[in-house]
Amino acid sequence: MARRILITGVAGFLGSHLADRFLADGHEVIGVDNLLTGSRRNLAHLAREPRFDLIEHDVSKPLFLEPGVDGVLHFASPASPVDYASLPIQTLKVGGLGTHHTLGLARRHGARYMLASTSEVYGDPEIHPQPEGYRGNVNPVGPRAVYDEAKRYAEAMTMAYHRAHGLDTRIVRIFNTYGTRMRPRDGRVVSNFIVQGLRGEAMTIYGTGSQTRSFCHVDDQVEGIVRVYHCRRVDPINLGNPDEYTILELAALVMEETESPVPPVFRPLPPDDPVVRCPDISTARRELDWSPTIGLREGVRRTIPYFRGLIDGE
């Protein structure tokens, strides 16, 4: 049955892919975004789509819509560490006030609610890989706290609306995801390395490059998110690709795929940068029958033409 789905952060990387997926599944999508870190370019192909509307609005302020929204997916938030370091108050507000307002909207409409949370709720983890039951190791006053604590508050607020008001809620803890529609200079490692490789610039490795991340292609991530939306589990679910790489390994792979001959350079490690990160996805495997299917090399190959197109157009 066709539904009206409201997606905040719709002009961003994940939000725009989710809009496409919900439209492809036959639903109507109301997108909300204030274009803080997103781009109209990510939605240009929907200009003539009658089942899509964009509302330009800051969801840190209340939003009132005519009744009839069936689902709310709250994806608005700066997500790159460089973005949230330069937008600290906006990040706290959209995770705190934005979550509160969108929960209120969902309650008023009797809609299902999904929160985009993050592996950052685990901070610099002491347990590896990270299962949902792990409570994390977050520095509440470090530079990453504006994002990590906003998301932890957002999770608590989502569970409070579920418990106090019986709201039908979902929480996805998203691990590093990459693909088309990321901003070329958003500061995240995959977009940085691909753009640097294509421009013939040295890849910037922070620290020794021995820190690890586990990279999930956007197509796998969107499939996981949709499955969580349609499942019955209220408790958080990790979504990510458990194949773990050091940043040095990632740089070597992207150098090969972009045919970059320039050796990488080393830069200082930002404070509180997690040493390791890898999702335990046994809950998603068990409850959603979901696991990623796109390996890192294949995913990077699928992403390079998008960045090449942007660079050629500059």
Per-residue DSSP letters for 8-26? ETTTSHHHHHHHHHHHHTT
- Cβ atoms of 300 and 194 within 8 Å: the answer is yes
CA–CA separation, 215 and 300 (whole Å): 10
Concerning whether 147 is annotated as a catalytic residue, the answer is: yes
206 binds, among ligand UDP, ligand NAD, none (CB under 5 to 8 A by kind): ligand UDP
Torsion of the alpha carbons at 91, 76, 163 and 110, rounded to the nearest 10: 150
**Which tokens go with 126?**
């002491």
Binds ligand UDP by CB under 6 A, chosen from 17, 74, 112, 213: 213
Choosing from 84, 147, 161, 245, which is the catalytic residue? 147
Site string for ligand NAD, 82-101 (x = CB under 6 A): ------------x---x---
Q: Provide, rounded to whole angstroms, the least separation between the CB of residue 196 and ligand NAD.
A: 19
The most distant pair of C-alpha atoms in the chain lies apart, rounded to whole Å, by: 58
Identity of the amino acid at 42 = N
Q: Which does 13 bind (CB under 5 to 8 A by kind): ligand NAD, ligand UDP, none?
A: ligand NAD
For ligand NAD, the closer CB: 260 or 292: 292
Stretch that binds ligand UDP, among 17-25, 96-104, 135-143, 265-273 (CB under 6 A): 265-273
Q: How far is the CB of 8 from ligand NAD (least distance, A)?
A: 6
Q: Which among 101, 97, 102, 125 has a CA at the least distance from the CA of 113?
A: 102
Q: Is 206 in the site for ligand UDP (CB under 6 A)?
A: yes
Query: Residue 75, interface with ligand NAD (CB under 6 A)?
Result: yes
How many angstroms separate the CA atoms of 309 and 314, rounded? 9
Sign for the pseudo-dihedral over CA of 221, 25, 104, 57: positive
**Residue 201 engages ligand UDP in binding (rule: CB under 6 A):** no
Residues forming contacts to ligand NAD in the complex (CB under 6 A) are 8-9, 11-15, 32-38, 58-60, 75-79, 94, 98, 116, 118, 174, 176-177
Catalytically active residues are 147
